[in-house]
Amino acid sequence: MLLQLHQGKTPSQIATLLPVSEATVYNLRKRYLAEGLRSALSEKPRPGQPSKFDKAAQAHLTALACSQAPEGRSRWTLRLLADRLVESISYKTVGEQLKKN
């Protein structure tokens, strides 16, 4: 994108050439002019919501998933694991955490 900008192309032209939006081109150009090349080539960490799983919660989840399934069940499901955890965690989050480990 920076090379295309340097060659005099407009952000809308670049957006049609590359799989990016015009806003991305504008933001990159703004970051390059304000902070320099190094900042334009790397992204800053994104804030996002902190994970609800600390190391202890991850260890508890892993131990629970590796334990014997509840009576009447042949194995653990993501929904059963989510229901057994203390925090209110969705079963999708449980699946993501198990996939990480």
**Digitized pLDDT (tens) for each residue of the chain, 101 residues in all:** 999 999 999 999 999 999 999 999 999 999 999 999 999 999 888 888 877 778 888 888 999 999 999 999 999 999 999 888 877 788 898 898 888 87
Given this model, what pLDDT does residue 77 score? 94
- The residue count for the chain: 101
pTM: 0.50
Q: DSSP state, 8?
A: T
CB 55 within 8 A of CB 94: no
What pLDDT digit, counting tens, does each position of 54-80 carry?
888 888 899 999 999 999 999 999 999
Task: Map tokens 């005099």 to a residue.
Answer: 8
Given this model, what pLDDT does residue 31 score? 93
Task: Map tokens 């653990």 to a residue.
Answer: 76
